[in-house]
């Protein structure tokens, strides 16, 4: 069987695991106050070109979204997100469990377009009734989006300007950030993100770590007592240094970039092969997730040889599926996959 | 100025207020354990043809929705509602503040159609990913809807059957129930509602009371310790008998029916006059709320003589407005309004 | 039967009810935007000697506490209260339902003593572990307390200073404030409270209104979008003017003072009689609630003639009971009660 | 420096880490649906002598407590716990953030004694006012407790019987369960716990794993859709197999028992040495955590050579400290420590 169903099928990148093994018997303080976390923080701040930033380490994506959003919003506020956003659909109501509405807006290839947000905000404040409604308290975007697409620097700049105008924070979910940064069709750097977002996270789980996400807050003290909020959410790892060790490894010698670049190279190889074979792409994704529209009859046969992700039904006879590459995908895996298709 | 902006412009129906005055100096126990609440409960159960029902009195609509929904759902569940539903838009996130997502579906003239719900539920359980999503834990409908429209008995029966099939409760928000029951175009009785819904409330605030809503639970003990949940929500009136006295008055000698019938009669008069004058109705409402599409230029002039509710913009040049009658609307008010239009 | 079990046995003071009747058929805007609410706000600000204050009207006490506390606290904060405080015990977990811990401290005759709070705060911040604990985010006191006792101006000033030092708000629950202000043993005025507290409420339900509590925020905009938080809690009365009309009446011609003064006069009469008859007071209460320690054998007999509140068991053979006077207590009621005792 | 400040200073037991390394490049499904989780579940059920049990894997202790408690309680319920319990003090309000009160009772050497619980429950239901209070909805105990002490089988049996009588679940927090099971002064086995508790967790983080806790529900389906609640809390690990691999290793060839036994042996050695040197124990702990009362002057000097945990101030001149052993403590570490003391 060829496995292309997701980008978190394996454990950690070998270099990351090696560091966990090397440091295993060291004794350190808990809860992220150790030297490895300190060092990882420094490396991340350097990579973000943001020396004053605050960096916190959490374990997983839904957890990070739930913690950050609860920390940022006031009771009368909700979070604006694309209706295809991870927090809107596939986090089991984690945001609402924290007391806040997800204010969903239509997406365009998975993206929350600046003009959509602008129109929503304008209408909201024009409506005389808005004091009876949930206030838009922040904007959530994912980059890459759930469809593998990317915001341009111009779009991010527009979203940033909108958020400034309405005085609400812009939060970027970077669960797959390595693949965004390494895309051949992006003009957005990590430093740009640190300049344009009020808070964001650099994904570890899907980008080479065993687990872990690094929350970056470019303006320190933007969230008072974030440490305690993390603890309250149950998101504070006792052996916090496990996260420090991993992120230190990921931001040593450009490993995070290499991980992203390799997955993108494999994805490009896959795209080329699929084009050659005449497959229909559901949309153009410049990152490691590719979406195909397939006839159902064909899909059935494919299932015998390939593990993919069911995405959604396109119509009665067609289905959209996802294929994903990662740091662990080998050239021969892609070739074997193409041979099956 | 002619006032038609809502159906809660005045205090209480004089007969209700009279009873509050007559009983004012009596001494009774608090929290709904008094004889007036007991008597009101009996009258309501009789009117619902449901002798075994449980009846609880709360103060307002948003409060009642928030309390009932929080009481019914488990943490992993949300509430299905029309995207035009009151809980979806105009309750300031009360449902989410209680920890639950509102699962919004498209409406048809304000109604949540059985087939829409059926398709949603079927798709939800077919999706292999649904364990990562909020479970549909109940269905919320309003009757009349926010657009004044009504469910037919057949539609209610279908919704009931669907809820049985998926083992989730059906909850009906009857903020304006008097006007639904009195409509000339309904085949739904209070007894039908008690048979087809798992829980519902009979609106007082907008139907003749100073304030107050009566929650009816046809199957007793459906919600354990509902009293304590009401208290926790801050929805338990200390002088609970004020609610008992009012609902006793409303369900004495058919007052609730009369209140509804009068408002409907006034609405019919209004509709007739509007038709005659060539006004465009946004939709056909069989109850006390009427929605018109007007040219903006015309609206401006109207504002000088009539208080109406802005509903939404139809297009650049047209606006939808609401006019509402109530128990307090007089024939001469309607005539004066029609003279202005 | 003599009824002394609480101070909310009747409806409203006749002058309040009269105003509700007089204004009943007037048409006004909803949600507290009407002229009666505006006028009541002005009168209350005048009585508080605090022209810039914000005033909001809610329906009941638990609701007000839950709304205010949720509005003031951040996720990592809890509210300091006496372990005998209403929010600690008898509000069915309303504060926790809003996501916050009640940090209970030992009381002294129902009062939260400044030195108790000072020691708690000092210890909290000294403990190296405190980032893993709930932060003290505000102080809650009730005045009169649940035991009818009162803070002195000096104690309030000390609590105020402590709250300033730690930069947390001081909130005063004035459910029975009329009886505090009218006590013969108090040096605290309404203007003092407005100077020393960051937020407080003037109780209506237990002091002459049918229902209603007036939240006063001496520093305007202390709580952004409090209106929406009130709505979200389900605490926004649709016919908001009912609260305006009642509080206007209570603050017209010194009615609120008279209501308090009368209840205190009746309580003094009662105390005198009880002293004369050799009854044992559980503590010295200078307000309208009196607490007696009685032999159980005696209590049983008393139950046949007097309705009182069971407070708690003192020991195997003795019980503490509460007797309360109100604006509605007549001299002959007290005499009849004393005759039974 | 000698490190005895906690039992989670190092990474994982080498055998656990080895298995993570061996399986690192395997591809498996996510979210705990893989073969390693399946195998670990089987081994745990065998160790618990409870073949029908449900086993779920979470990441950390506070997270597990928050998830389980929120899943078990209804809105009107709280959780009974010792006032020294971890959930009562050091989880930053995680339980209240989930909407529930922690109903704290006095402890005896860290234990919640059956008679304390019995009296509380009896009083609660006797109090006529209890419908205005938070209902006791479950009992939380930790074993070992935060003071290292252990429940006897008789005490557990009594707590179990009490919970049956009041129809509420008994939940055991086993963050350090390995050290309880291996104690020389216990008559409680894992199978006993599975028989007497409705739900409990087997701690990994503090007992040899890198991280991870295994929740055991002896009666399957006791918590419907627990998977989704775990996801909602942000507690579902994407690469769930990391937890399966670790717990499989811990329950292979008695590793969990060996880990416990070794730490206990080291603790016994430490206790002996301390006794010999005349140290004052704060209480008698039969597990891996030892508590000493030391003069402050002495403590200062000790700080230069030994890392310990500050526990609390005993009086002005004395402090209580904690020393902890673990699977990683070596005999020479204890000897070196004793040499310093």
C144 and C197 together in one domain:
yes
B157 and B106 together in one domain:
yes
- Here the CATH number for the domain that contains residue A83 is 3.40.640.10
Number of domains in chain D: 2
Tell me what ipTM this predicted complex has.
0.97
Taking a C-beta distance cutoff of 8 angstroms, is the pair B19, B245 a contact? yes
Q: Which of A6, A84, A90, A93 is the best residue to mutate to test the B interface, defined by the most B CB atoms within 10 Å of its own CB?
A: A93
Beta-carbon separation of D71 and B75 below 8 A: yes
In the three-class reduction of DSSP (H, G, I as helix; E, B as strand; rest coil), residue C299 is classed as: helix
Q: Where among C250, C275, C293 does a domain terminate?
A: C250
C216 and C307 together in one domain:
no
C188 and C243 together in one domain:
yes
- In chain C, which among 106-145 make CB contacts under 8 A with chain A? 131-133, 135
pTM exceeds 0.95 for this model: yes
- Searching chain A, which residue's CA lies closest to the CA of residue B127? A312
C182 and C264 together in one domain:
no
Q: Which two tokens stand for residue D152?
A: 């006897």
- In chain A, which among 187-216 make CB contacts under 8 A with chain D? 205-206, 210-211
Q: Where among A215, A250, A285 does a domain terminate?
A: A250
Q: Is the pLDDT of residue C128 over 80?
A: no
Does any CB of chain B come closer than 8 Å to the CB of residue D231?
A: yes
Q: Which residues of B touch C97 (CB under 8 A)?
A: 232-233
C208 and C336 together in one domain:
no
- Here the CATH number for the domain that contains residue D325 is 3.90.1150.10
Q: Is the pLDDT of residue C245 over 80?
A: yes
Q: Which two tokens stand for residue B211?
A: 């304030």
- Phi and psi at residue A330, to the nearest 5°: -105, 155
Q: Is the pLDDT of residue C129 over 90?
A: no
Q: Minimal Cα–Cα distance from A104 to chain B, Å?
A: 10
Q: What is the DSSP string of C283-313?
A: S---SSEEEEEEEHHHHHHHTTTEE-EEEEE
Does any CB of chain C come closer than 8 Å to the CB of residue B309?
A: no
Does any CB of chain C come closer than 8 Å to the CB of residue D101?
A: yes
- Searching chain C, which residue's CA lies closest to the CA of residue B12? C24
| Candidate from B20, B30, B233 with C-beta closest to C6 | B30
Environment class of C29 (CB within 10 Å of its CB; exposed 0-12, middle 13-18, buried 19+): middle
- What confidence score (pLDDT) does residue C278 get? 95
Q: Which two tokens stand for residue D31?
A: 């979210």
Residues in chain A: 341
Residues in chain B: 341
- What confidence score (pLDDT) does residue D129 get? 87
Beta-carbon separation of D96 and C101 below 8 A: yes
Q: Where among C197, C226, C250 does a domain terminate?
A: C250
Q: What separation in angstroms does the CA of D204 have from each of C45, C54, D243, D247?
A: 59, 53, 9, 8
Q: Minimal Cα–Cα distance from A325 to chain D, Å?
A: 13
C142 and C276 together in one domain:
no
Domain housing A105: 14-250
Q: Which residues of C touch D90 (CB under 8 A)?
A: 129, 132-133
Beta-carbon separation of B134 and A93 below 8 A: yes
Question: Tens digit of pLDDT per residue, chain D (341 long)?
Answer: 999 999 999 999 999 999 999 999 999 999 999 999 999 999 999 999 999 999 999 999 999 999 999 999 999 999 999 999 999 999 999 999 999 999 999 999 999 999 999 999 999 998 778 999 999 999 999 999 999 999 999 999 999 999 999 999 999 999 999 999 999 999 999 999 999 999 999 999 999 999 999 999 999 999 999 999 999 999 999 999 999 999 999 999 999 999 999 999 999 999 999 999 999 999 999 999 999 999 999 998 899 999 999 998 889 899 999 999 999 999 999 999 999 88
Q: Minimal Cα–Cα distance from B89 to chain A, Å?
A: 6
Beta-carbon separation of D60 and A234 below 8 A: yes
Strand B306-307 versus strand B2-3 pairing type? parallel
D23 and D158 together in one domain:
yes
D144 and D246 together in one domain:
yes
Q: Which residues of D touch A11 (CB under 8 A)?
A: 20, 23-26, 239, 242
B270 and B237 together in one domain:
no
Q: Which two tokens stand for residue A87?
A: 């927090």
When pLDDT is averaged across residues B37-56 and rounded to a whole number, the result is 98
Chains that touch C (3 or more CB pairs under 8 A): A, B, D
Beta-carbon separation of C94 and B205 below 8 A: no
C222 and C290 together in one domain:
no
C183 and C265 together in one domain:
no
Render pLDDT for A72-128 as a digit per residue (tens, 0 to 9). 999 999 999 999 999 999 999 999 999 999 999 999 999 999 999 999 999 999 877
Render pLDDT for C159-218 as a digit per residue (tens, 0 to 9). 999 999 999 999 999 999 999 999 999 999 999 999 999 999 999 999 999 999 999 999
Chains that touch B (3 or more CB pairs under 8 A): A, C, D
Render pLDDT for A127-147 as a digit per residue (tens, 0 to 9). 778 999 999 999 999 999 999
- Phi and psi at residue A267, to the nearest 5°: -65, -40
| Candidate from A132, A224, A231 with C-beta closest to C132 | A231
When pLDDT is averaged across residues B55-61 and rounded to a whole number, the result is 98
| Candidate from A25, A60, A62 with C-beta closest to D328 | A25
Q: Minimal Cα–Cα distance from B133 to chain A, Å?
A: 4
Distance CA C87, CA C311 (A): 17
Q: What separation in angstroms does the CA of D299 have from each of C20, C248, D306?
A: 71, 65, 10
Does any CB of chain B come closer than 8 Å to the CB of residue C30?
A: yes
């Amino acid at each position: 069987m060829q496995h292309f169903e997701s980008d978190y099928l394996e454990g950690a990148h070998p270099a990351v695991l090696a560091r966990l093994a090397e440091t295993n018997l060291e004794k350190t303080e808990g809860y992220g106050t150790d030297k490895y976390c300190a060092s990882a923080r420094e490396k991340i701040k350097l990579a973000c070109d943001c020396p004053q930033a605050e960096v916190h380490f959490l374990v997983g994506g839904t957890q990070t979204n739930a913690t950050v959003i609860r920390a940022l919003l006031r009771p009368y506020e909700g979070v604006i997100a694309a209706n295809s956003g991870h927090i809107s659909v596939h986090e089991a109501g984690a945001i609402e469990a924290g007391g806040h509405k997800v204010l969903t807006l239509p997406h365009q290839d998975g993206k929350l377009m600046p003009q959509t947000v602008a129109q929503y905000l304008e209408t909201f404040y024009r409506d005389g009734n808005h004091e009876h409604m949930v206030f838009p308290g922040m904007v959530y975007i994912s980059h890459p989006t759930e469809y593998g697409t990317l915001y341009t620097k111009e779009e991010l700049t527009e979203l940033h300007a909108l958020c400034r105008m309405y005085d609400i924070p812009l939060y970027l979910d970077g669960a797959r950030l390595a693949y965004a940064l390494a895309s051949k069709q992006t003009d957005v750097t990590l430093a740009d993100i640190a300049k344009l977002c009020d808070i964001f996270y650099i994904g570890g789980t899907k980008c080479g770590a065993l687990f872990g996400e690094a929350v970056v807050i470019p303006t320190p003290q933007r969230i008072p007592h974030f440490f305690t909020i993390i603890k309250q959410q149950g998101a504070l790892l006792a052996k916090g240094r496990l996260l420090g060790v991993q992120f230190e490894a990921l931001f040593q010698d450009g490993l995070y970039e290499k991980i992203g670049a390799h997955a993108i190279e494999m994805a490009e190889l896959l795209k080329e092969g699929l084009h050659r074979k005449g497959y229909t792409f559901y949309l153009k994704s410049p990152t490691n997730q590719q979406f195909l529209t397939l006839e159902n009859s064909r899909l059935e046969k494919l299932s015998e040889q390939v593990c993919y992700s069911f995405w959604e039904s396109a119509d009665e006879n067609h289905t959209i599926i996802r294929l994903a590459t990662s740091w662990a995908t080998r050239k021969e895996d892609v070739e074997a996959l193409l041979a099956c298709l």
